[in-house]
Amino acid sequence: MGSEQQPVNILMILDGWGISLSETGNAVAAANTPFLDTLLVDFPSTTLKCCGEAVGLPDGTMGNSEVGHMNIGAGRIVAQDFVRINTAIRDNNFSSTPALVSIMDKVKQAGKSLHLLGLLSDGGVHSHINHLFALIKMAKDKGITKLYIHPIMDGRDTSPTSGIDFLKQLDEKIHDLGTGKVATMTGRFWAMDRDTRWERVQKAFELYTQGKGVDASDQTPAQAIQAAYDRKETDEFIKPVYFCPGNEGNVEEGDGVIFFNFRADRAKEITRAFTEKNFNGFQRTANPAPINFVCMTQYDEHFDLPVAFGPQHLDKIFGQILSENEIPQLRIAETEKYAHVTYFFNGGDEAIFDGEERILIPSPRDVDTYDQKPEMSADKVADKACEQISSGKFQFVVLNFANMDMVGHTGIFDAAVKACETVDRCVKKVVEAIWETGGTAFITADHGNSEQMLAQDGSPYTAHTLNPVRFIVAAKRAPTITLMDGKLGDIAPTILQVLGIEQPLEMTGQCLIQGK
């Protein structure tokens, strides 16, 4: 298209790129990132809040990729499912939730077992232990006598060996309420895959349906997890363990399962294994279907399953506004963050807007953890993005680089440094391609991670952080602007101002350009 090409603008989300004033354990500070450093000197930038009430979470709760992308895409603070469930519990409405009442009534009348499955954590990213406690109490009040609990251990949004404390809290709650039994235990590495690594999911599924795993029937859960630690297995990677002898505690035909994770992306695969009629991820040797299965939130609009807390509808979000203004848009990321630039960025909706196209670059499959390959697929994402930018087909691009988050989660400092340096190199390629068209690069992050790789005690820190993130507006030919501090929900209104598009009333975030 040559000189006739219209400017292409981009929103680049550098997952896990947070700001920390401390240099100790700070992979972002330690990394050699000359291009990002130059952008911060040469172009307007500011800091954004990305946790707690600024993104629709409880005060003091760290942000995450789902929440971050949803707030960015919506251009407003979006009340998160975590808060909605907390509110229902606080207001004593939780136990009257129709889907939960229905499944408990069914299993009680049929004399079957109720299974509570989910991540045992207070991280508030995928689940919260208090939601499990509310379910146990509700089951007690409903007179459920066969209650089995299947905790998935975290160690990613919490410290790698915090699981033993959560198991002790669970044991105390079971003792206090006088109901429930821990039937199994495994790490989220197995039960919460999101990259179709079905060999992992199969191990979790066979634990739940056949009791396949390490026999810990003579141990308490706390003893069993300590044994796993002694085997050098941290929470995330704990191999399947079962506690019930015989078939007790297995999910069987006619039983009820409540999956209490509220975040969708890592709940889908094991849900499909349990419920999909023509499932082909692996050969199910013991298929418990038909079972009664309730999802805490809507994991996928194509799942024909009861949902305890249904989706919210967000109108006049960023992608929709681009579509209504006939601005062709591209969403591009590698597998690990593809759902975030599509489903979550579009307000938790699977629908694709007119003029929206998507490109998925596969994440590496030849490593178990990304510290072994900190570059991940960033170069492929960058190269494909540059190709599409120069094609003139699109006028706006939303891109995610996953490295600083996914490698940060491993807790391996040197690998996180390499991840930061990879992203810097790839950002340079893409931004220069944008500038070639006369466009503007808007660069930010959804939450922090790699800027804090050490806990206070010096051990590896693998979770997200409460730190703010940067927002840069980089244009070669543009009037000088000054940006105010803000929150993630202010990004879309700011971009619309730069594009000359009126901000809709529904988009309640603020434009961060001073004087606008």
| Residue 470 annotated as lining a ligand binding site | no
| Residue 231 annotated as lining a ligand binding site | no
DSSP string, 342-404: IIITTTS-----TTEEEEEEPPP-S-SSGGGSTTTTHHHHHHHHHHHHHHT--SEEEEEE-HH
Catalytic annotation, pick one of 3, 22, 45, 65? 65
| Residue 337 annotated as lining a ligand binding site | yes
**Cβ-count burial of 458 within 10 angstroms (0-12 exposed, 13-18 middle, 19+ buried)?**
exposed
| Residue 37 annotated as lining a ligand binding site | no
**Rg of the Cα atoms in the chain:** 23
* Gap between the Cα atoms of 333 and 399, Å rounded: 6
Written as six digits, the tokens of 304 are 């024909």
| Residue 90 annotated as lining a ligand binding site | no
| Residue 446 annotated as lining a ligand binding site | yes
- 65 in active site: yes
Q: CA neighbours within 13 Å on the CB side: how many for 263?
A: 23
What angle, rounded to 10 degrees, do the helices at 491-499 and 65-74 form? 40
| Residue 447 annotated as lining a ligand binding site | yes
| Residue 188 annotated as lining a ligand binding site | yes
Residue 503 CB coordination number (10 Å): 19
| Residue 65 annotated as lining a ligand binding site | yes
| Residue 265 annotated as lining a ligand binding site | yes
Give, in order, the Cα–Cα distances in Å from 441 to each of 2, 396, 429: 20, 10, 12
| Residue 194 annotated as lining a ligand binding site | yes
Confirm if 152 and 205 have CB atoms less than 8 A apart: no
Length, in residues, of the chain: 516
| Residue 425 annotated as lining a ligand binding site | no
Q: How does strand 486-487 pair with strand 114-120?
A: unpaired
| Residue 300 annotated as lining a ligand binding site | no
Q: Which helix (H) or strand (E) holds 210?
A: helix 198-210
Give, in order, the Cα–Cα distances in Å from 198 to each of 48, 116, 274, 373, 447: 38, 22, 13, 21, 29
Confirm if 480 and 44 have CB atoms less than 8 A apart: yes
| Residue 405 annotated as lining a ligand binding site | yes
Q: CA neighbours within 13 Å on the CB side: how many for 152?
A: 29
* Gap between the Cα atoms of 273 and 253, Å rounded: 14
Considering only the C-alpha atoms of the chain, give the largest distance between any 2 of them, rounded to a whole number of Å.
74
* Gap between the Cα atoms of 265 and 271, Å rounded: 11
| Residue 266 annotated as lining a ligand binding site | yes
Confirm if 156 and 193 have CB atoms less than 8 A apart: no
Place of tokens 């959804």: 446
Residue 485 CB coordination number (10 Å): 12
Active site residues: 65
Residues of each annotated binding site for substrate: 126, 156-157, 188, 194, 263-266, 337
Residues of each annotated binding site for Mn(2+): 15, 65, 405, 409, 446-447, 464
Residues of each annotated binding site: 15, 65, 126, 156-157, 188, 194, 263-266, 337, 405, 409, 446-447, 464
